[in-house]
């Protein structure tokens, strides 16, 4: 039975792609090829595989699967999201200029300002939601417009189609970090983007147990260029980790669908709580860019942020929560609560941070697979404690208080 010649929906594609059944054995799971090298039968021509940095059958299965899901022609798997993003930036040379979302992921910000600068690559951070501002900052040397939508942690929306058109007119590329939405909800290549990057560490793998990055392109020359850079720079994803990502992908749709449904319910609940000053969620009608978001995606996703009065309120609220993990990262089976001021944006001066709306009262929640009523009950009691001024407690490890977290935990996010 050929699985390639008829159209199936994403849910089906996640489970029944061309690697779902192994042709030689009938195995319904992709074998993990740990081999670093491959025996060659001839002296004058190499076989399909020669060395695992250049090509590995397990990695290839993942790369073909993600390419198909994003509607691209070729995919590439890397050791982390940052390895994928950094490799994509190696396309550019001294004298080139890159235009980037001002609220880009912290690691991408660090790559651009700390590394590209040293290689003589110029950059400008702009508010991508304002197309006039983007236009105004294009230079003759601009080679890429780099987008993240929704952005982190304020879930700002960029019009992928409009930016891609602008880039095309200007003769430069459009890159989209699609980590928050995944191809299940958003397919930037179909909206005109040239290259999609993912931290597959998040929703795509989904279990907080693997670091991985992906790149997908549609243009043949761009595919050749990324392939060359992947092999040259060498930050490839190991075979075992490729298998973990492939396994995560099979449940991506149900996980995201369920988490998104719960996110809606939590947002509705939080909007009734007087201590919550603001909620940032692209699914809310009043959210800036929500109409554009609805037009370019299939859902608002499973991540939202909300604002309490100040740090003291955050401390008390968080100390009384039992269910969500309080940590850096997102997109996992467990709900993950993050504190941007001390985690993703700790390196940013307070003034700069607050100017961008990232106040000391802001929390971000990536909704997991817990029952929504349990999450609401947990939030309810934590808000009650906040209201009554109950003393902060040492949460220790979940679900019961099993000791004090190591001191290093508090600074983990600064480095991530
Ligand atoms: C986590 C993340 C990254 C970096 O990915 P790693 O796998 O941690 O290297 C990049 N972009 C976004 C939006 C992320 O959330």
- Any ligand 1 atom below 6 A from CB of 149: no
pLDDT in tens, 1-54: 444 556 788 899 999 888 989 999 999 999 999 999 999 999 999 999 999 999
Nearest to 302 by CA among 260, 331, 253, 268: 260
Q: How confident is the model at residue 344, as a pLDDT?
A: 84
Is 161 annotated as catalytic?
A: no
Pocket test residue of 87, 201, 327 for ligand 1, highest count of atoms within 8 A of CB: 201
Q: What CA–CA distance (Å, rounded) separates 2 from 114?
A: 49
Distance 84 CA to ligand 1 centre (A): 9
Burial 137-162 (b: 16+ CB within 10 A, else e): ebeeebbbbbbbbbbbbbbbbbbbbb
Check if the beta carbon of residue 62 is closer than 8 Å to that of residue 246.
yes
Torsion, Cα 93 95 100 104, to 10 degrees, reads 60
The rounded distance, in Å, linking the Cα atoms of 27 and 67 is: 22
Contact of 252 with 204, CB cutoff 8 Å: yes
199 CA distance to ligand 1 middle (Å): 4
Q: Report which of 7, 4, 10, 59 is spatially closest to residue 33, judged by C-alpha positions.
A: 59
Instruction: Return mean pLDDT, the chain.
Output: 92
How do the residues of the chain divide into helix, strand and coil, expressed in percent and rounded to 5?
A: 40, 15, 50
Give the model's pLDDT for residue 399: 46
Identify the pLDDT of residue 410.
36
| Nearest-CA residue for atom 2 of ligand 1 | 199
Assess whether pLDDT exceeds 50 at residue 257: yes
Tokens for 335?
């709900």
pLDDT for residue 4: 52
Q: What is the pLDDT of residues 277-298, one digit of tens each?
A: 999 999 998 999 999 999 999 9
Q: What is the pLDDT of residues 111-163, one digit of tens each?
A: 999 999 999 999 999 999 999 999 999 999 999 999 999 999 999 999 999 99
Res 235: pLDDT = 98
**What average pLDDT does range 382-389 have in this prediction?**
94
pTM: 0.93
Q: What is the pLDDT of residue 78?
A: 98
Fold classification of 9-250 is: 3.40.640
Q: Is the pLDDT of residue 411 over 70?
A: no
Instruction: Confirm whether 105 is a catalytic residue.
Output: yes
The whole-angstrom separation of Cα 3 and Cα 69 is: 14
CA of 3 to the centre of ligand 1 (A): 32
Are 339 and 326 spatial neighbours (Cβ–Cβ below 8 Å)?
yes
Which residue in the list 59, 74, 156, 202 is annotated as catalytic? Answer: 202
The band of 264, judged by pLDDT with boundaries at 50, 70 and 90, is very high
Write down the domain spans for the chain: 9-250, 252-409
Of 340, 339, 303, 356, the residue nearest 129 (C-alpha): 356
Tens-place pLDDT, residues 68-101: 999 999 999 999 999 999 999 999 999 999 999 9
In degrees, rounded to 5, the angle at the alpha carbon of residue 152 between the alpha carbons of residues 325 and 365 is 25
Q: Which DSSP category does 190 fall into?
A: G
| Three-class SS state of 171 | coil
Q: What is the dihedral of CA 108, 357, 386, 326, to 10 degrees?
A: 0
Q: How confident is the model at residue 300 (pLDDT cuts 50, 70, 90)?
A: very high
Can you give the pLDDT at residue 396? 60
Task: Report the distance separating Cα 175 and Cα 248, nearest Å.
Answer: 24
Is residue 177 annotated as a catalytic residue, yes or no?
A: yes
pLDDT (mean) for 254-272? 98
Assign domain 252-409 one CATH number from 3.40.50.800, 3.40.640.10, 3.90.1150.10, 3.80.30.20. 3.90.1150.10
pLDDT at residue 356, as a whole number = 81
**Who wins on pLDDT, 45 or 392?**
45
Give 325-382 pLDDT, tens digit per residue: 999 999 999 999 999 999 988 877 888 788 888 999 999 999 999 999 999 999 999 9
């Amino acid at each position: 039975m050929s699985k390639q010649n008829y159209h199936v929906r994403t849910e089906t594609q996640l489970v029944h792609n061309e690697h779902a059944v192994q042709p030689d054995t009938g195995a319904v799971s992709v074998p993990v090829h740990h081999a670093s090298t491959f025996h060659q039968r001839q002296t004058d021509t190499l076989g399909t595989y020669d060395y695992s940095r250049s090509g590995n059958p397990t990695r290839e299965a993942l790369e073909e699967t993600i390419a198909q899901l994003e509607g691209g022609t070729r995919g590439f798997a890397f050791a982390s999201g940052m390895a994928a993003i950094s490799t994509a930036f190696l396309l550019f040379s001294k004298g080139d200029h890159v235009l980037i979302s001002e609220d880009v992921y912290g690691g991408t910000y660090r790559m651009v300002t700390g590394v590209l600068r040293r290689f003589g690559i110029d950059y400008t951070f702009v508010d991508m939601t304002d197309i006039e501002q983007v236009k105004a900052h294009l230079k003759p040397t601009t080679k890429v417009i780099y987008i993240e939508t929704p952005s982190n942690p304020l879930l700002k929306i960029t019009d992928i189609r409009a930016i891609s058109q602008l880039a095309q007119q200007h003769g430069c590329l459009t890159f989209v970090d699609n980590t928050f939405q995944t191809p299940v909800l958003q397919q930037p290549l179909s909206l005109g983007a040239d290259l999609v990057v993912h931290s597959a560490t998040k929703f795509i793998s989904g279990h907080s147990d693997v670091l991985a990055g992906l790149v997908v392109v549609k243009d043949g020359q761009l595919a050749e260029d990324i392939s060359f850079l992947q092999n040259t720079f060498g930050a490839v994803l190991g075979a075992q980790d490729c298998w973990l990502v492939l396994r995560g992908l099979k449940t991506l749709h149900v996980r995201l669908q369920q988490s998104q449904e719960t996110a809606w319910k939590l947002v509705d609940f939080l909007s009734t709580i007087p201590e919550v000053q603001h909620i940032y969620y692209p699914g809310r009608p009043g959210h800036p860019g929500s109409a554009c978001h609805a037009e370019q995606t299939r859902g608002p996703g499973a991540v939202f942020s909300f604002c309490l009065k100040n740090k003291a309120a955050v401390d008390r609220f968080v100390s009384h929560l039992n269910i969500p993990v309080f940590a850096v990262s997102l997109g996992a089976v467990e709900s993950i609560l993050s504190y941007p001021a001390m985690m993703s944006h700790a390196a940013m001066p307070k003034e700069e941070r607050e100017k961008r709306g990232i106040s000391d009262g802001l929390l971000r929640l990536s909704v997991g697979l817990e029952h929504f009523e349990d999450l609401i009950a947990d939030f309810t009691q934590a808000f009650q404690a906040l209201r009554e001024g109950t003393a902060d407690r040492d949460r220790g490890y979940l679900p019961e208080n099993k000791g004090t977290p190591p001191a290093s935990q508090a600074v983990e996010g600064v480095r991530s």
